[in-house]
Amino acid sequence: MGSFLPDSSSYELLAVIGRGLDNLMTVNLARYRPTGEHVAIRRIDLESCTNDMVTYLIYLFARSARDLICTHFTDGMSELTIAYILLGMLKALEYIHHMGYVHRSVKASHVLISADGQVCMSGLRSIFSLIRHGQRAKVVHDFPQYSVNVLPWLSPEVLQQNLQGYDSRSDIYSLGITACELANGHVPFKDMPATQMLLEKLNGTVPCLLDTTTIPPEELSMKPSRSGADSGICEGPGPGGVRNSNGEPSSSSGGHPYNRTFSPQFHTFVELCLQRDPEKRPSATSLVGHPFFKQIKRRPSEALPELLRPVSPITSFESSQPQDSPSGLASLESGLSHLEVDDWDF
């Protein structure tokens, strides 16, 4: 995408593609008049916002985990980075579930990371309350009108839509898919037709972390390419193999992008989350104490900014560019090309 002028007359607003913040925030598909390009513009009615809303909006200028994958970690993040992010997500889910809600839209694009290392979950438009008439229901039977883009993250029981329903453990499955998304740089099942995806999940096909223990040696010896591992579903020796690194991608040295080895604890964590039977999945509270998180030694505010280098806050500009320059606006707009409509749901 090129540079865009910070002049409202240069844009023609088209359809509304998203709303948020009690309808005070609107995301429009727009046409950039000078070039005819389509862009997304988020408009906020600041005059009607409370002080708390303004504070919330300031936080939203952090980047999403999906944005970080698309711009800086295309082959996945390091294991320690993922541990900090997943722990933050689990603490958010622990609170959400304790309050009687099911999130139903857990994915990397709904995980915001601030400049000081705070992890915050968004995507609350799809949240569903288990509290009905003063009592807490055991399961949910409602199926929201999801876009096709969110299907890869949904659990088998949500997709199945049967009389047994689903509960908060469906979010744990989505967390496991998100863990694979953060580690592999792409989403399992992403390129599958919806029907095939449903069959794969109902039949118990389990996605995995892509590393030296799950990718066949002959594929690892090939030139740098994701090759057949694009689906995120693979066969290999499993998590029992030898591991000796923290999961850093090695593609920068010219090797296979997945020629790395994640810890047995990380593999086990993902396997627990992605069990076909929801009754066997641990709760968010239980997973917070999983051995996978023992590698965390510092506070997120100290570690995450360092682990995410050279990432800078989305509101940071090159020192050589004035903030009101066209290129300054373009830096804020640069991520629009890879965002999906659902990504605007805060």
Q: How confident is the model at residue 145 (pLDDT cuts 50, 70, 90)?
A: low
Tell me the C-alpha distance between 139 and 164, whole Å.
8
Q: Confidence class of residue 67 from pLDDT cuts 50, 70 and 90?
A: confident
> Phi-psi region for residue 23, left (φ > 0), alpha (ψ -120 to 50) or beta?
left
3-state SS class at 141:
coil
Cα distances (angstroms) measured from residue 205 to each of 232, 271, 281:
11, 11, 15
Tens digit of pLDDT for each residue in 240-257? 443 333 344 444 445 688
pLDDT band of residue 132 (cuts 50, 70, 90) is: confident
Q: Among all chains, which residue has been given the structure tokens 């989305």?
A: 314
Q: Which residues contact 278 (CB under 8 A, 6 or more apart)?
A: 155, 157, 166, 167, 169, 170, 172, 173
**What mean pLDDT is predicted for residues 58-63?**
60
User: What's the mean pLDDT in 18-24?
Assistant: 71
Q: Is the pLDDT of residue 265 over 70?
A: yes
Question: pTM for the full model?
Answer: 0.74
Work out the percent of the chain whose per-residue pLDDT is above 70.
74
Report the Cα 126 to chain-centroid distance in Å.
15
Domains for the chain: give ranges and CATH numbers: 8-61+315-344 (3.30.200), 64-307 (1.10.510.10)
